[in-house]
Chain A
Amino acid sequence: MEAFKSLINYISNPTILVTAVIVLFPFVFPPTNWFYKVNKRLHLDKLWTGKGLLLMTVVTIAFFIFGLGDYNFRSIVLKPDNVPISGLILLLIFFTWLSMSQAYKNDELIDQGKSVDEHYDAPNDKVLVWPDLVYVELISLILFSAFMLIWSIGLPAPLEQPANPAESPNPAKAPWYFLGLQEMLVYFDPWYAGVVLPTFIIIGLMAIPYLDRDPNGSGYYSFKNRKLSLSIYLFGWLILWNVLIVIGTFLRGPNWGFFGPFEYWDSHRLEALTNVNLSEIIFVKWLEIGLPQSILLREAPGLLIMFILIAVLPVLLAKTFLKKSYEDLGPSRYSIFVVLMIFGALLPVKMYLRWLFNLKYLISIPEYFFNF
């Protein structure tokens, strides 16, 4: 039992956890035909059947039940603040399953040349506002209110002590829906993780209908026809957002240190902070000539990388891998799309750079409060 717990603690380490999730991801949500074939061959598509849902739910619940036997796990999971996050995991599984199972069913129907479930036959597919919409909404409203009532009785508001500036809670956590952002603060400068990135997320979400104008698979659930776009979206949503929330809730302890789910939250544990900037790696470690005086020269490697990422890479991609996309989207939409993709991908890349090379910042100009 203890061995299992330490195993879980071990694989909960962000390096392993994130790597595992990233590696598994394309097999579960195949972005290309090759992965799609493998997905089918490994019968991973069975996850989206009723049995699959049952399996995922049972495994998750079983893990929680097992975990509740452990004091440390219990004290974190049962904290009234954190209970919704456990619910979030289950809901996430259910809704992902719901859409994927519908999508796979529709894919099959299309393969068989039949019309899909959600096929809309205007103007015959008419539904009356009353009672078909309003009545259902009313029922939902009542049920939801009932649920909120029983929750408020069963799990009273988690009131804590009077606020005290001399004693901030350790760990100090953002509201759960911001924990993904807070997790990014570990890897990025606050202005980037807290301002730029969220803005990109919003812009990116708003840009989707303008970037993806492919009518194929539009208006109903489907996967096969939109493998890449769906995988990219799900990667962003599930991994870059929800996994980070779960990590932030359950696995980040005192001093924002990383703790396995069965580990004691020891506020005295010391984490060695030995992060270095790219300029230090290049000028001090490799070239051994010391940091140049000039800021521009000092940060030249980072700026060069940024230049490559923003100016060179999109062009290269347009000529090679994404040639088709470039042709489909045209230069302006393509450049928006590709820049958003690059910044999205930078998040996990930066995480890996931190873990592998203790890289603090690619560009670090604290003189002007600019770090990246």
Chain B
Amino acid sequence: MNNSNNQERYYNILKLNKWFALSSILFTAFWILVFADDFNRPWKKYQIEFRKIEIEKVKQDINLEKVALEDSDEYESLINALSKSRSDLELESAKVEDINSKIKLLNIELYKINQDFQFSKADMDAQRYAYEEALFGHGNIEEAEKKYNKLRTKTDKVFLVAENKQSEIDELSDELKLINANIKKYEDAIFSVSKEKLLLERRLTKLDPESMNLSNKVANIVRDLPVIDFIDPYYDVKQVVVNDLKEDLVYMGMPKVDRCMTCHVGIDKKGFEDQPQPYTTHPRLDEFAGGSSPHPMSEYGCTSCHAGRGRGTDFISSGHMPKDEIQAKEWKEKYGWEALHYWEDKMLPAQYVEAGCFKCHSDNMPVVGAETLTLGMATFEKAGCYSCHSMDRWEDTPKPGPSLYKLASKADKDWVYRWIMEPRAFRHNTWMPHFFKKGNNSSPEDILRSEQETLAMTEYLYEYSEDYNLAKGLKSGDPENGALLVASYGCMGCHQIQPEVDESYEPSYENIRLQQGPNLIGLGSKTTEEWLFSWLKNPYSYHPGTKMPNLRLTNKEASDIASYLIEDKIKDFDERLVPNIDETILDEITSDFLSQVNSTRQVEKILEDMSSKEKLVLSGKNLIGHYGCYSCHNIDGFEDRKPIGIALNYEGSKLISKLDFGFWHDKIDHTKWDWFYNKLDQPEKFDLIPNDDGTISVKQLKPLEKSRMPHFGLEDKEIKSLVTLIMGLVKDEIPPTKLPEKTPKYLAVTKGEQFIHTNNCMGCHKIDGKGGAIWTSTSDWLRQVADNTNAEDMSLVQSFSPPILNTQGRKTQPQWLLNWFKNISMVRPHLQARMPSFDYTDEEWNTVISYFQSKDDLPLTYENPHNFVKNSSSYKAGERIAEMGACNNCHFYGEEKPKQAALTWAPNLVLTKERLRPEWLVEWFTNPQDVMPGTKMPAPYIPTEEPVNSVVEVWGKDVAKISTDSTKLYKALNDWMWGMSGRKDVSAIVRRHISSNGYGFIIEEDDDWGDEDWE
């Protein structure tokens, strides 16, 4: 302490002053830094850059408009007319001036008079009150009345004067208007022609400082200055608030606020398609973001589909996620990107973006425009994911695997053992997954156990297999004919015969249709000819719920097909060893299950009393329950079991902390989609331990603790599509206003779409250009029965394939269609492919019929029958048109065979009146190609263009009466057809004809025309 001297102060005040100065400067500097930090927002540079781009664009557009106007004659003539009118006006300038000065004077007078009137009126009103008061008894009535009347007269007088002045002014103004009328007219016309350009120019004055006037120029700078930029800045955080979409903040829902457009400034503006991110226009502006699209940004925001953190205003805080390593690297360099750790719903990376569609459009199948999601949904259904993982969306979908109730009659035990052990060794593209020889059960001990487990499951299946009486009537078949039948009857709409892996196979929604039924290889190894015959004759007798329909085969046909399919055997599969029972391992397996409810000593005792067979059956049952075989197959004793997997309804909303990355935490990116990808790619992955040297170990797990999810052998594209679907399974609550409106049409169409997908109608039929997987097989068949030229003729392939179902709802009478579905009869005589008999309920058929009708905007109503009078003029006209158009070249008229060869045969016209709707027929006749592109049916020739005289001569008077009205002519044709009677079922005639005469294919042989085919 230094207070012995007389200094008053303990510290040196000068030093303190310096400290004070220094700290104040420091404080001020940091304070400025705070403002700078606040001012210097990361998004600003994007808006500045976008403004430049936009200015350039507007300038360009103005130039384009300018050029267009310069080229426009209209504009030029208007300009000329305007300048002429202006020069005309010059001549009358003296008059105009005169009028203007008169008006000016009059206005001054009017002003004065108006004032007089107002004052006078005010005096009068006041006096009126005084008069009324006098009447009431306060004052002199007479005097008041006199005064009042005087004032009233004065007011009226002044009013009159004012009115006259006003009309004088109006007259003069009208005169002036008349003189200026031409100019106004041309100016208006010019404005409407050059409106676009003017709007653009006005826009430019708001955008481009160079085009602004001085005060705006100053304002443009001032509005964005630091600190005062809170008032009305040009550069600001842009956002949409969607009140009815809520952000789930657990304790409360907050309206969705998306600020993405703060940087993605051009996202909803046309014309920036070629700009780089973030300035570019939305790639699907017609569908999304655009004001007139079904999903406008202002109503749906951005994160409702894309996910991510909508309130974020920089690259990281908005939750961007890269699609792959390369993009991640690029982002790290460019933006210092890292995943936004504290936001659960990160933005969906590009490859999974369609996940966002599912939350609203899960009813649809397919979701049009979302190919990946659709493939995911189809794969999900095809692989039967829903059978182990319950999901509301697929609640009523039938089990994906065949019934095993009557397995013993179908395959032998050894085959079943080998199949369960390794399904893809038998059929390379089967959807039956691998439960064994996976990463977590492939050690030698594991395999020994797997073998015994498989034996046990096989034993159980056989022990509880029902008896099945095979159909009788198998003859020795002709495999060659069988092959032809398989190619032509329609089998290939759902099945393939593909012995080797198709390397070029590309998973797609369309291609999945070919896998509706199994790839028909190795049937000789799998089953017997007798069983196959029986199955072909009537699949429903083996499995009432099967998707395989009845093709109404004769014994001969079924025998031929069976003999053909049974030929194929898979040798090395048949040679696989089936092990013997190993009592020790079997005991282990059995006791694993027994010990779940018994003590060890009890287990020992139970085991002692059990035979090997009993052990097999007991463990078999438990294993089937453990692996969940019953989820996909009907198995005796498992009818009421719940599925083994977790429900996936909200899997996409699952917290990432609930996904166990196990020992892969630094090998797999920490995102939900990467976890799902890896889980699907290798379901047992998280049972495994990656070692530093690249080898893999398995966690120490007891057999029953291991991951059971089997291997489906999915391809990358399939996995990604499934991940897209899973990421779409979110909990978000969507208000009905944001969902597609649930109109009766919507409900019927979506229900029908799903039914048609599940039952693979489009394996055979094309609807609106999609489907028709069978066409390749038709072409193959044509190659065999005719030649390459025929096989490559697409119109021929089309005519021999099941019909295109465009406009089906408008086309057929619903009652006929229902009857026909339930009792199929021949419609197209030339067609080999058969509409199978499906065992659907009335409700299911109604689903199909109302799907077609709703799709075609035809409400299901009762319709009046078509009224016509036989031998009326219209009827006769129809008859004549049919005659002239030679309908009977291709069409059956009852028993009467068409004139041409069977190749071109078309439906029996006798059927028309009960089958088709007359309105549709008019549509059809008008342009068959519109309805069914590629059809061989020509539009009926009608004389609408011919002079009436010649029509009378050639077509007769009945046609001539209506010859100018095509609709009437077509209706005449309808009348004629409705009057037709005769044999409806021509199948016997057709069969006889084709078996003796063939189709009459045109086959070119060494320049020698096969004439006999025409006879």
Contacts and interface: CB of A to CB of B under 8 A. Distances in A.
Interface of A: 118-121, 124-128, 131-132, 135-136, 138-139, 142-143, 145-146, 149-150, 152-153, 159-167, 170, 264, 266, 268
B39 interface: no
B1 A119 contact: yes
Given A131-B9, A146-B23, A163 B251 contact: yes
A127 B10 contact: yes
Nearest to B34: A149
Given A125-B3, A128-B8, A139-B20, A159 B342 contact: yes
Q: Which one of A159, A167, A170 has the greatest number of beta carbons of chain B within 10 Å? A: A167
Given A166-B250, A170-B657, 20 more contacts: A120-B1, A121-B1, A124-B4, A125-B1, A125-B3, A128-B10, A132-B9, A132-B11, A135-B16, A136-B16, A138-B20, A139-B16, A142-B23, A146-B23, A146-B26, A149-B34, A153-B30, A159-B342, A165-B250, A268-B662
Nearest to B655: A167
B34 A268 contact: no
Contact of A135 (B20, B30, B342): B20
A131 B8 CA distance: 10
A163 B250 contact: yes
A120 B3 CA distance: 11
B11 A268 contact: no
Contacts of B228: none
A109 B665 CA distance: 61
Contacts of B250: 162-166
Given A146-B30, A162-B249, A131 B16 contact: yes
A186 B799 CA distance: 81
Closest 10 CB pairs of A and B: A161-B342, A149-B30, A146-B27, A142-B23, A132-B10, A162-B249, A127-B10, A160-B342, A164-B250, A143-B23
Contacts of B343: 161
B33 interface: yes
A83 B326 CA distance: 33
5 contacts: A119-B1, A139-B23, A142-B24, A159-B342, A163-B250
Contacts, number: 79
Contacts of A121: 1, 3
Contacts of B655: 164, 166-167
A153 B37 contact: yes
Contact of B27 (A135, A142, A266, A268): A142
Contacts of A268: 660, 662
Contacts of B31: 149
Nearest to A143: B23
Contact of B657 (A120, A146, A167): A167
Contacts of B342: 159-161
B3 A131 contact: no
Nearest to A71: B666
B119 interface: no
Interface residues of B, number: 32
A138 B24 CA distance: 10
B344 interface: yes
A125 B10 CA distance: 9
A120 B660 CA distance: 67
A124 B3 contact: yes
Nearest to B24: A142
B214 interface: no
Contacts of B3: 121, 124-126
Interface string B15-52: 01001100110110111011001000000000000000
A149 B35 CA distance: 11
B728 to A, nearest CB: 21
A159 B309 CA distance: 14
B11 A153 contact: no
B231 interface: no
A142 B27 CA distance: 7
B13 interface: yes
A150 B36 CA distance: 12
Contact of A153 (B10, B16, B34, B249): B34
Nearest to B1: A125
Contacts of A164: 250, 655
Q: Which one of A119, A135, A146, A153 has the greatest number of beta carbons of chain B within 10 Å? A: A146
Nearest to A146: B27
Q: Which one of A136, A149, A165 has the greatest number of beta carbons of chain B within 10 Å? A: A149
Nearest to B343: A161
A239 to B, nearest CB: 34
B840 to A, nearest CB: 44
B310 to A, nearest CB: 13
B848 to A, nearest CB: 44
Contacts of A170: 657
Contacts of B13: 131, 135
Nearest to B2: A125
Contact of A143 (B8, B26, B29, B344): B26
Interface in B643-695: 655, 657, 660, 662, 665
Interface string B34-76: 1001000000000000000000000000000000000000000
Contacts of A159: 342
A43 to B, nearest CB: 31
A254 B33 CA distance: 38
B257 to A, nearest CB: 14
A125 B1 CA distance: 7
Nearest to B249: A162
Contacts of A142: 20, 23-24, 26-27
A118 B2 CA distance: 11
A161 B717 CA distance: 33
Given A131-B16, A161-B343, A163-B250, A136 B11 contact: yes
Contact of B33 (A125, A126, A150): A150
A193 B250 CA distance: 32
A163 B16 CA distance: 48
B27 A145 contact: yes
Contacts of A150: 30, 33
